Amino acid sequence: MKAKKILAGLALVGAIALTTAGCAGGGSGAGGGGNDKVITVGFAQTGSESGWRSANTESMKEAFSEANGFNLIFNAADNKPEAQIAAVRSFINQGVDAIVLAPIVTDGWDDVLKEAKDANIPVILEDRTVSASEDLYASWVGLDFKKEGETAGTWVADNFGKTPTNLVVLEGTTGSSAATDRATGFDDAIKGTDVKLLDSQTGNFTRAEGKTVMEGFLQKYGSQINLLFAHNDDMGLGALDAIKAAGLKPGTDIKIVTIDAVKDGMTALADGEFNYIVECNPLLGDKVAEVVKKVVAGESVDKSYIVEDQAFDQEQAKAALPDRKY
């Protein structure tokens, strides 16, 4: 126990020096920093289910680089909650300085987060949230998923709310905060309109499952479908293939609204195959790294940091695409 306290003290002193140097890539890093202590961080990612997730992973790896004073231990759980919990336990056993967690689902985190707290290892949530007590994690950096759903739903209400419109929904991973909150926000925004929900099923945020579920919708409802809301671009892109295979024109015969604004989705919007996209910014790495450095240094941080999103129609997508980073 005494040895662990000594190590924790050394981590604190080293992290204070790193915080003074700042979060961007201007520090001397592990190789040329002299007395700077490298911060070892375990990052438990959901998987690689979408273009958004790939951009998010890249952002995190760039921010938690050796040049920025970090040693990153990365794990992607292939969207299996039990594998992600095992990864967090592994980080605890390795004695990392901090854990960054992008939780696959909201529930089931109480025990392992308490284990991290008992080991004096701070946990910073990234992207999604958990239902566990707030005293079990230091901070959360992410997006306002409910507002994203509200923005998408408001566009639908404004454009179709007074016209009888049949809607199908491709949901994200069941039990994830992104899927739950986007659905809540969207449903709230279309209440009282003439938009009728025909069906809603999970496509697990993947292009392949989005295509499969959309094929089922088309077999069941055919040309009755007027509108698709997909909880992310990748499922919407999978649905494009199914719609085209059914002899229908995406963006015209079936209007499509999605969330994420990754490059493939924005291209579909610019081409008129999508009709509206609400952004979910995946480039969270720099902010998360900044929060980790402060937490490890013993500095106070806010309980949550929300990164602002945008929304795009076709013309806005055309204008944004040339400089799009993801």
Per-residue pLDDT of the chain (326 residues; tens, 9 = 90+): 333 333 344 333 333 333 333 332 333 333 333 347 999 999 999 999 998 999 999 999 999 999 999 999 999 999 999 999 999 999 999 999 999 999 999 999 999 999 999 999 999 999 999 999 999 999 999 999 999 999 999 999 999 999 999 999 999 999 999 999 999 999 999 999 999 999 999 999 999 999 999 999 999 999 999 999 999 999 999 999 999 999 999 999 999 999 999 999 999 999 999 999 999 999 999 999 999 999 999 999 999 999 989 999 999 999 999 998 88
Angle among Cα 24, 27, 29 to the nearest 5 degrees reads 115
**Sheet of 311-312, strands arranged across:** 195-202, 165-171, 227-230, 255-260, 276-279, 311-312
- pTM of the predicted protein model: 0.84
Angle among Cα 167, 168, 171 to the nearest 5 degrees reads 135
> Which single residue is written with the structure tokens 């240094």?
297
Give the Cα separation of 260 and 250 in Å (integer): 18
> For the CA atoms of the chain, what is the radius of gyration?
21
Q: Are strands 165-171 and 276-279 parallel, antiparallel or unpaired?
A: unpaired
Burial of 311 (0-12, 13-18, 19+ CB in 10 A): middle
Give the Cα separation of 238 and 227 in Å (integer): 15
Task: Identify the three-state secondary structure at position 317.
Answer: helix
End-to-end CA distance of the chain: 45
Domains and CATH numbers, the chain: 2-143+282-307 (3.40.50.2300), 145-280 (3.40.50.2300)
Torsion (CA) 107, 117, 136, 293 in degrees, nearest 10: -110
